[in-house]
Structure 1
Amino acid sequence: MAETAVGFAIDRMVSLLTNETSLLRDVHSEVESIKHELEAIQCFLKDADMKADLEYSQGDHQTTRDGVKAWVKQLTEIAFQIEDVIDEYTFHLEQHPGGRRARGFIASLCKIGRSIIKLKPRHNIASCIQEIKKAVVEIKERSARYGFDSIEKGTTNADNPSQYVSGYDPRKGSMYLEDDDLVGIESPRDELVGWLLNNDQQTQRAIISVVGMGGLGKTTLARKVYDLVKNDFDCHAWIAVSQPYQKEGLLKKIIKQFCKGNKEPASQGIDSMDEEALTEKVRQYLQKKRYAVFFDDVWKVGFWGDIEHALLDNKIGGRIVITTRSKEVGDFCKISPSVYDLELKPLDPEKAYELFCKRAFRVEFGGRCPPSLNDLSRKIVKKCGGLPLAIVAIAGLLSTKDRTVYEWDKLHSSLSSELESNPHLTSIKRILLLSYYDLPYYLKCCFLYFGMYPEDYSIKLSRLLRQWIAEGFIKSKKDKTLEGVAHQYLSELIHRSLVQISDVHFLRGTCKACRVHDLLHEVILKKMEDLIFCRVLSGNDQSTLRGDQLVTRRLSIINSSSINVLHNIDQSFQVRSILNFKFSDRIFANSILSTHTKNFKLLKLLDFEDSALDYIHEDIGNLFHLRYHSLRNTKVKMLPKSIGKLVNLETLDIRDSFVVEIPAEIERLSKLRYLLAYSRYDFNIDSIQFNLSTVRGMKVHEGIGCLGALQKLSLLDASKMGVDIIKELGKLTHLKILEIFKLKSEDGKILFECIAKMNHLESLNVTTISGDDIIHIEFLSSLPQSLRSLSLTGPLSKLPEWISQLQNLVNLTLVLTKLEDDPVKTFRNLHNLLMLRMLYDAYNGEKLQFEEGVFSRLKLLSAMHLSKLNSIVIEEGALPILEKLIIGPSPKLEIINGRIYVVQSDHHRYNED
């Protein structure tokens, strides 16, 4: 964490030096000096973090390890103090803004007064910075005791985290397991063997990457396959790459392995050859040989570039297998013409249970679980999440214990602490942590953030990425939005096999929600605690009330009922974020809010989603640094006017709360990017019951046009907005998503004139005030070409031709539009359309006919509650990749055996009601 904390402290100082030109001269130079000192330290912090956590502790090594831990902790605390000082400074300066313009003598007095007021915080920061500089210098001098001052004399080990795995390592035996001990590898084994011995491509070199998170059994699988196929090749080699390597050393190993496998003497002089000579040597050896080389545990993304020229494509059939935790390593190999990917998955529950029983009950019960331990065994296996490494290690430990419910329940209940302290299990933690330590500092905090959510919690992507942005984890990049960079960060964590995709967008096929493996979650929890990253408070655990344990940067409160917890937080370490999960205790939920403005004045994030909170205190306006505030699915009925003082707020989420009106003071929030407010109780346009009266939107006041940074605005209640307010929407030119309902017919022209100015708009949802109000869409000469999703609810005056020109449109939903023209013919030119929904008399015709060639990319078609429809015809060749067809109650459609009758060519397709 020191590496991460120092990295962010440096970023904050760079921002301060760049933007705060009014800093006292001495302060400016002191900040610059501290920045240079920290940059000098930062280059070996990654190494120090690993030494403090992963190095095997024994005898004198324990003393060194403890010293390193203390050193890392002190540096982390200093980095936090730097961030606190800067935030305090900006907080005080912003308390006295310029205000309205005055003239003459009064203006001069005001200017002098503001300068005097601002001078004090500048002197305060000067004093604090001097103390911090003194502490940094002392910490740097102390580092000499641990050898960190010699960083320039040698090479750091930070890029080779695997060397720190020591002690009992269950991976070591994975290459020598008997077939009877293996479970669940049959299918990937056969697939891998098939690729290696593929007779159709005997002459072409092929690269195969086996990808998966640590502990999934990549080495076990690869070694078994290697032993099966090696004799089918003229030469073969097994190379472990996890240790540090130089290109020359790697090439020497390859040559020696080839010679050893063929019982040939190693070539003379290879130890003195340079890279070029070694590359040529390997190429000469392979000129007329069919070879197989297995590289195990590759970390470096550019690894293929180090060996591709040596392992030439000799047109005889070379095979190269790479096992790795990183999908990017495998992707880098795709510059080769013949590439295969094998992504290993966790074992399914039954296979996992079978493996567990084989290892835990091998001796006494012949690999079968006794009935008395069956339930506990399955609970323990579930905790392992299908990870063979953990299953084997935990089962091996349990095989040494008494076969009693008491002993097994004790391990199940204390698995988290056992992972930390039990010699049989600590290697699991170390192996899982290797991937964490291989991350750059800006990704480590993003990964640790998953520990703030409960175990097995599927996190919505939008929520997570907005929180990362609010926390300041996302570094801006040229020509990329913060959201774009955040998506890139998440993709990298997924590709490194650290984060799992738990839900996928049906249309786009992209990640919609994600989670981490349960054992990784356990490891993260301990790591967060050690690094002062976050404290998780759950249940009635009174041990969390000790003041020394409540020094933390963030709080995650999970079903906790300890009302006094927040009063005991050490204020010297300002808490930056509070996440709450499913409070049923209204008093406790409100207690948090009454406390946070006193103890947590530098808060950046407050997430009360799903809590029993029913009141927001006026003092919330004092949280100057607040960037993210969620009241989603709470019982809050009203926002205080002081919400307008949160000038740094970026996300305000009040969806499914009881708030129906946004205070006029919100116009001051120029940085607001997401204003999310709606209640859709019992509202589902795909359901049998459909009633617009169950939808509640929000009322906004004049001034909404001042929110120029808004990207998403939903759901506006147009019936509570005057014409002047609707006109202001035209100023929101950065909007990407707009949802507005209860639109009155007479306001349609004004609204669509505003929409025409939104050149970045990607999603538009417009609903009329009732089924009789007409959407005068003819007032809109065109929609932004950026539009990807369009939903119209209410009768259309006519269907303009320009809709068919929206070539980026992928989602079209029509409800109650009462179209007379055949929508299939009307929209047939929307070649990129993935979803088409026509619901509740969206179409008044009798027949829908899909001819060959139309909607070639359509994945979902929904036609429900169309009262006049009597037939649907899908011709041969139409809708070639359709995945989901939803046909709902339409009284005139022919019914056969309780199902809707649909014609496709000359045979029948049936769909349930």
Structure 2
Amino acid sequence: MSYLVEYLIEKLGDQVFSALVEETKFALDFRSELDSMKTQIEIMKAFLSDTENLKSKTETLKTTLVKIRDLFYEADNIITDCLLRDKYRQDGFCAKYSPQELVFKIETGQKLKDINSRLKKTEEILRAYLTPQYPSIQGDVTYQVSGFTSQEFDPSEIIGLKNDIEEIKGWISSNDEVLHRVGIVGMGGLGKTTIAQKIFNEVSIQFEKKIWVSVSQNFNEESIMRSMLEQFGQDSSGSDKGQMLSKIHRVLKDQTCLIVMDDVWSMNLDWWKKLFSAPPKSTDRRSCIIITTRNEEMAASMGVQNSKIHRPKVLNENESWSLFRLFAFSASKGDCPNSEFEKVGRDIVSKCGGLPLAIKTIAALLASKIHSVGEWKKINENFHELTRENYSSITSVTASLQLSYDQLPSHLKLCLLCFSIYPEDFDVRADQLVRWWVGEGLVHDKNTKTATELGFEYLSELVSRCLVDVVQRRGYDGTVYSCKMHDLVRDMTIKVAEDEAFCSFDGKGKQRFTVDSRWLGFSSDMDPKLWKKNSKLRALLLVSSNQVPLNKNLEFLKSLRALDFSYNKLDTVEVEKLWGWISSLKRLGYLNLSGVAGLKEVPSSIQKLRNLQLLVLTECNNLIRVHQSITNLKRLVVLDLGSCRHQFLPRGLERLSNLRELSGFRLASQANTQSCKLLELEKLVQLRVLRINVNSESEISENEYEVLSHLKNLLVFSIDAEDCKDKKIFEMLDRLSPSPRLQELYLRRYRHEVMPEWFNPEQLSTLQYLCIENGDLANIKMNPEFEVGSYSAWNIEGLCLKFLPNLKEDWKNLELNMPQLRYVEVSRCFNLKNFPCSVDKPAVWRKNKY
């Protein structure tokens, strides 16, 4: 909930606060109520910080926290409505002193008074609940460490891990490092500790000293050093931290050591570097540190190279069954009694998703019910419900995964819970997910980074913490394109999302829509009539490609911030109805109707969505017209009409001063007086991404060629020439002047034999990635006139060449001209010479393992 508190405090900052007061200064008690709300939220922030430290919460506290969130959302609605009202008034849509305005202001003041009264009551409940517990909340929690003994290791647990173990043993036995640093990274229950235990037992000959430190979640250097010294056989009594550090250094200098740091969550990196700063006396003596962690970034920060990070995989079907048999049929040494037990058992194993911890815990539970196949069937039918409820040892799986959630910073917790609305094994589009986060306000601009950029960083962090699995990513920089969640991690998020009252689920893990739901992943088997009973919903996303039967229910969703009906099979009539309902959602921040075949135009009613920040209409093949009123949406940061058939965007886009991403901007004829011209974009100084389309009718006037050079923040630029072969078009494109900070360049359907004249390392000195797809290029040489004068090497690191049958480049020349290249993707470039991979099929070349 901390994210919401920060968000409201930010919205109530001095500038916005003054605007709100000015907007409603004639409302009774408004100023004092607004001051009171600001104070109450600040107080609540401190209390909420304390509740996050509690490992368990009573039902009273849970209920109170849900009520607090409801109040915060109500406050957010009021603030948003006031700001929108102010924008309407500034644009002349409502008079400042009209009777309607006075009514609005008085009602707003009354709503604030009611919220403040309820905030005060909940504060009293929290104060009464937390005050007696302050000593335990504020007290120091020490680091728990313990030595490991080989007796704790069960050889039967290494099923499916043999290759993992051999790979790491190979790293340890190599002579390329004096101090090997190895990371074993993966989600909870994947077998990281089991792998480390096996290695710990099998490499005794190589090391003179072996120590195992089991690390808990709260860091304490002194406890770790005492544990290390005890296992080294050294006396640590009476020593301070400096003395203990010196003793450890002496051991590491004189003896070869294997040190396992198991289950690392956080680390004081300055202390960690000092701990292993003493080199051995002889370079022939090699030691090793093995770090197991759920956070890949943690392993990297502790000095583990990417090539020495091992990521255990889930078990396959046969490995899972073998492990299950050992525990479920332990009395008969793994022999299954009959085919009926095997059938039910295999079905249960499939629901464990290859996670060793889940397989072992469910198998151990079933071992006590080996005489009743009926009991097995009952557990099979209620498997996912049991993993979320307090049912015997199965909860150890969820509890293990819950630890990862508890350790997340507050800004990531809610982002992770968003995955709960997607069905089991659903491939989630990363752009949809991130845009939802931005539209609802879960992610905001910070310093020099946009909310969208931060959103993708947050997603990558969830991946690095092994809570989200990548389905597809861009090879060049690892940007996630699509992802999914392990079933048991999803079960954990479902449990938390229900506790936090964001959504509700049945016993099968399928979402139920209730009057209190905040998020809904809507599928075709749900009844949209239920929508009218909900006034709290903030996100409605379609998770089924089937057509949704629409009726006048959207008008009840007044709190909606994110609406994604992309790729829904709606006809034109349904779309016209949809626009009528959408226009009433004045708080909407994100709207996605991508791929909706029935969408033919963006109507004038779009202007009612003054809070809209992201409008995404990609691949709407029948979209031919965008109404000029779209230029009234001054909060827009993303306008994406890529792969649409519209002839032009309307004049006035220069008014969208907050725009960061513009896709599908079509260069029209100068004679078209209704179209937006390239010159207007000069005022969009915050643009980070610009994707333009050109065809035989496109024109660029004399005063427009320098426009791109004035966009100082432009990082990504794309030209789609739409298979145009008109030479005058390419002559115009040659005269463009690129942004000085451009990092990525895309040329698509570029039917010209040579690159644009401005394509040289001097004008594109910051270019890092180049993508050319489906064109007639014969080479990728820079402007010949530039080559005559001087030579500068490119800084390009990534290169993508696809469907370029005329390309007759020599790979050796490309390497020479682009010495920084580390990633190259090639497809259907049959005349590319000397490429180290086959050009007959899609190929990827990497300089180093990425």
Q: Which residue of 2 aligns with 1:791?
A: 747
> Does residue 10 of structure 2 align to residue 46 of structure 1?
no
Give, in whole Å, the separation in 2 of the partners of 1:793 and 1:645: 37
Structure-1 residue corresponding to 2:659: 710
1:529 positional shift = 1.6
Question: Which residue number in structure 2 is paired with residue 611 of structure 1?
Answer: 568
Aligned residue for 1:810? 769
Partner of 2:691: 738
Query: C-alpha separation between the residues in 1 aligned to 2:542 and 2:149?
Result: 43
2:388 paired with 1:436: no
Q: Give the deviation of 1:371 after TM superposition.
A: 4.2
Does the CA contact (< 8 Å) of 2:524 and 2:548 recur in 1? no
Are the structure 2 counterparts of residues 604 and 73 from structure 1 closer, same or farther at C-alpha, using a change threshold of 3 Å?
closer
Pick the aligned partner of 1:622 from 572, 575, 584.
584
Alignment partners' CA distance in 2, 1:663 and 1:187? 60
Partner of 2:286: 317
TM-score after normalising by structure 1: 0.78
Tell me by how many angstroms 1:436 deviates: 0.3
Q: Report the Cα distance in structure 1 between the residues aligned to 2:508 and 2:215, rounded to whole angstroms.
A: 45
Shift of 1:447: 0.8
Aligned to 2:264: 298
Give the structure 2 partner of residue 104 of structure 1.
none
**How many Å apart are 1:836 and its aligned residue?**
5.7
Match of 1:20 in 2: 20
Q: Does 1:209 align with 2:183?
A: yes
Could you give the per-residue CA deviations for residues 734-785 of structure 1, whole angstroms, max 9, x where no partner exists? Answer: 2512131434265687875655554415222232585557524256153334
Q: Which amino acid aligns with 1:415?
A: F
The verdict on how the C-alpha distance between 1:758 and 1:879 changes in structure 2, with shifts beyond 3 A counting, is: farther
RMSD after superposition = 3.9
- Identify the residue that residue 665 of structure 1 maps to in structure 2: 629
Describe how 1:179-218 pairs up with structure 2 within 5 A. 179-198=155-174, 201=177, 204-218=178-192
Cα distance change of structure 1 residues 774 and 27 upon mapping to structure 2, 3 Å threshold? same
Q: Deviation at 1:862? A: 4.4
Task: Identify the residue that residue 57 of structure 1 maps to in structure 2.
Answer: none
Which residue does 1:140 correspond to in 2?
A: 126
Pairs aligned (count): 802
1:77–1:499 CA distance, 2 compared to 1 (3 A): same
Helix, strand or coil for the counterpart of 2:553?
helix
Q: Given that residues 373 and 404 in structure 1 are in contact (C-alpha distance below 8 angstroms), is that contact kept between their aligned partners in structure 2? A: no
- Assess if the C-alpha contact under 8 Å between 1:768 and 1:794 holds in 2: yes
Identify unmatched segments of 5+ residues in structure 2: 788-792, 844-850
- Residue pairs, 1:288-437, within 5 angstroms: 288-302=254-268, 305-306=271-272, 308-309=274-275, 312-315=278-281, 316-334=285-303, 340-364=308-332, 366-367=334-335, 370-372=338-340, 376-402=344-370, 407-419=375-387, 420-437=389-406
- Residue 654 (structure 1) aligns with: 617
Shift of 1:553: 1.7
Q: For residue 790 of structure 2, what is the aligned residue in structure 1?
A: none
8 Å CA contact 1:209, 1:342 repeated in 2: yes
- In structure 1, distance between residues paired with 2:757 and 2:435: 38
Q: Distance in 2 between matches of 1:667 and 1:131?
A: 40
Task: Tell me how far 1:337 sits from its aligned partner.
Answer: 9.8
CA contact (8 A) 1:533 1:553 kept: yes
CA separation of 1:302 and 1:175: change in aligned 2, threshold 3 A: farther
Q: 1:576 aligns with which of 538, 556, 575?
A: 538
Structure 2 SS opposite 1:237: strand
Query: Conserved in 2, the CA contact under 8 Å of 1:212 and 1:324?
Result: yes
- Tell me which of 72, 77, 87 is aligned to 1:79: 72
Q: 2:37: which partner in 1?
A: 31
Question: Partners of 1:338 and 1:461 in 2: how far apart?
Answer: 24
Measured after TM superposition, the shift of residue 413 of structure 1 is 3.2
Q: 1:405 to 1:565 in 2, by over 3 A?
A: farther
SS in 2 for 1:51: coil
Contact 2:327 2:363 in 1 (8 A): yes
Alignment of 1:685-696 (within 5 A): 696=645
Question: Aligned-pair distance for 1:643?
Answer: 0.7
Stretch of structure 1 that moved more, 667-676 or 347-356: 347-356
- Which amino acid in the other structure matches residue 322 of structure 1? I
Distance 1:622 1:304, change over 3 A: same
In our comparison, the structure showing a higher alpha carbon Rg is 1
Query: Separation in 2 of the partners of 1:387 and 1:675?
Result: 41
Structure 1 residue 120 corresponds to structure 2 residue 106: yes
SS at match of 1:696: coil
Percent of counterpart pairs with the same letter?
Answer: 22
Contact 1:10–1:39 at 8 Å: present in 2 too?
no
| Aligned twin of 1:691 | none
Take 1:113 and 1:792, find their aligned partners in 2: how far apart are those partners?
A: 56
**Alignment partner for residue 275 of structure 1, among 219, 223, 241?**
241
Checking the alignment, whether the CA contact within 8 Å between 1:282 and 1:311 is kept in structure 2 is no
Report the CA distance between 1:174 and its aligned residue: 11
For 2:602, which of 639, 647, 655 is the aligned residue? Answer: 639
Offset of residue 884 of structure 1? 5.3
Shift of 1:709: 3.1
Output the CA distance in 1 between the equivalents of 2:80 and 2:800: 49
What residue number does 1:263 align with? none
Equivalent residue of 1:803, what SS? coil
**Residues 485 and 377 of structure 1: CA distance in aligned 2, closer, same or farther (over 3 Å):** same
Q: Do the aligned partners of 1:711 and 1:735 also contact (CA within 8 Å) in 2?
A: yes
CA contact 1:662–1:698 (8 Å) conserved in 2: no
SS of the residue 1:295 aligns to: strand
**1:28 to partner: Cα distance:** 3.8
Distance 1:255 1:798, change over 3 A: closer
Contact 2:720 2:748 in 1 (8 A): yes
> What is the CA-CA distance between 1:372 and the residue it aligns to?
4.2
Q: Which amino acid aligns with 1:665?
A: S
- Structure 1 residues 256 and 66 mapped into 2: Cα distance closer, same or farther (>3 Å)? same
Out of 694, 710, 716, the position equivalent to 1:762 is 716
1:588-607 superposed Cα distances (whole Å, 9 cap, x missing partner): xx13xx22222x21211101
Q: 1:706 to 1:33 in 2, by over 3 A?
A: closer
Q: Deviations over 1:208-248 (max 9, x none)?
A: 22211111111111122212234543332222111645322
- In the TM superposition, residue 799 of structure 1 has moved relative to its aligned partner by 5.6
Which deviates more from structure 2 when the two are superposed, residues 766-775 or residues 497-506? 766-775
Cα distance in 1 for partners of 2:540, 2:519 equals 6
**How far off is 1:361 after superposition?**
3.5
Determine which of 449, 470, 481 is the counterpart of 2:418.
449
Flag structure 1 segments of 5+ consecutive residues without an equivalent. Answer: 53-64, 102-108, 164-171, 260-265, 680-694, 865-870, 889-913
Q: Alpha carbons of 1:425 and 1:236: their partners in 2 closer, same or farther (altered >3 Å)?
A: same
Q: Secondary structure at the match of 1:421?
A: coil
Deviation at residue 580 of structure 1 after TM alignment? 1.6
Distance 1:144 1:43, change over 3 A: closer
Mapping 1:765-780, distance limit 5 Å: 765-767=719-721, 771=725, 774-778=728-732, 780=735
Match of 1:58 in 2: none
* 3-state secondary structure, aligned to 2:404: helix
